[in-house]
A and B are shown apart, each in its own frame.
Chain A
């Protein structure tokens, strides 16, 4: 749905659901996923419907994902780091015993 004006000059790679995604250094996770063609990043907590980034300035919380085991991260406010592990958040965040931190 989105394409880049130019190819990344400083590529950074991270893992999304087991797949390698290449972004531009400085991209937010939300922008990187949209540029990669990821259609949805979470499922709504009641209906389970697919949701995707909506406001991209940290207001709507639609872009919530799990990053390196921590749920409820705002993908639009998080800058990509090489090697980070990003997962979709399906429904409400799970509270893990001893996890999440």
Chain B
């Protein structure tokens, strides 16, 4: 669907997202005289990792809980504010065209923006964790609980079960304990085989990574606090009628059950690829991080010329790598627009690229160690809800697979899986994995849902308010009066 009519505004560089990558891109762009406009869905700069960092400055109680890795975002945000860019918080991008045209929706309505260059820096989201009962009230992402702590100072008032795998489980456990929450248990789902697979990567990661050493220290702290830590957990089921009442699981060959009202799930994070897919950029399936990622060079340049990608949205690397990627993308844009000589691009990017290579060694180790269990990727229980919006189960998907349904786009037509308001953000990967495992095919063969604009819901009224929409093309005869047609959306 080409929704574009005519443009309301034009910008030199549009940066989508104000997390570590977007902030860094804006800082470097400002320094090199590239006029950047930053669109961000959030109400303040920092993205999810440094969320609410400007407000937290006068809330020392929160800053102390969240730790120094969060606090250092304050410095980035200050440099961003001083960069001279135009910053538009509360603005979501609902459409992106391969020529750099953007559909943007903000507090004052929707607009079309023409951009000479675009850096997509949409960051990551928590990997959906489909298992029986995960749609019950009282089941949230662990990152969601962290968001509540960062932005509103909310702390669980009931004992929490933290279930999953990944570095964030340790970090969040530590933050929740520091905030006075009680953790009924940590259910560690890291597959045992991962330790063997990751071991060969440990020496180089350990040398390269302060973060890794810090993570191990946190793990020891959480375990020393007396928190029950179950290893090798599988077959998790969340039970309850209208809300969570208990969680059951298997660990060490034994079935167990814990009564609780709040379950926090986490199986790592995945790139937000809605915009890069909608832009027509090629994507590759990453088998280790187990997600799609846009195909890009070291600077984030894609096969769609005016559009670059940076940060976790281009493949998970964490905040520091994302900031480096943001700087690189802005350097490439500046060179492209004639604000930076080729030699200077080379000189300025060399140390950044070297730093990123070291960071990636740590990441490869973490990716291997925390690669999710197969039952998280393609839920074995037929009753497990895959599409939360339209309520399509794994069993229903297996049924259409058996009928010969080859991929998620066909399954969407048969079952409505991926057709709800989240537009496949929560079910896309899982649906494809269920179909892939049912048909004995790879994720690359099965493919992903086709992402079409609008990638965020927009009202007919907002659409109708766009420049050029509803106006006849130049030279067209006047429209007859009568009942007004709605936009062909």
Binding site for B on A (CB under 8 A): 1-6, 24, 26-28, 31-32, 34-35, 39-40, 44-47, 49-62, 64, 70, 72, 77, 79, 100-101
Contacts and interface: CB of A to CB of B under 8 A. Distances in A.
B157 interface: yes
A31 B391 contact: no
Interface in B446-468: 457, 459, 461
B421 A64 contact: yes
B259 interface: no
B422 A60 contact: yes
Nearest to B48: A57
Interface of B: 41-43, 48, 52, 55, 61-62, 92, 125-126, 128, 135-141, 143-144, 147-148, 151-158, 179, 242-243, 261-262, 272, 388-391, 420-422, 425-426, 457, 459, 461
A40 B139 CA distance: 12
Nearest to A26: B55
Given A1-B262, A56-B141, A77-B41, A31 B154 contact: yes
Contacts of A4: 152-155
Contact of B155 (A5, A57, A58, A64): A5
Given A3-B155, A31-B152, A54-B144, A46 B391 contact: yes
A2 B148 contact: yes
Contacts of A40: 137, 242-243
Contact of B141 (A5, A49, A55, A64): A55
A45 B390 contact: yes
A35 B152 contact: yes
A35 B41 CA distance: 23
Nearest to B61: A5
Given A1-B262, A4-B152, A52 B144 contact: no
Contact of A50 (B137, B144, B155): B137
B62 A62 contact: no
B137 A52 contact: yes
16 contacts: A2-B148, A3-B155, A4-B153, A5-B154, A26-B55, A26-B152, A27-B152, A45-B389, A45-B390, A46-B390, A51-B388, A53-B144, A58-B41, A60-B425, A77-B42, A100-B459
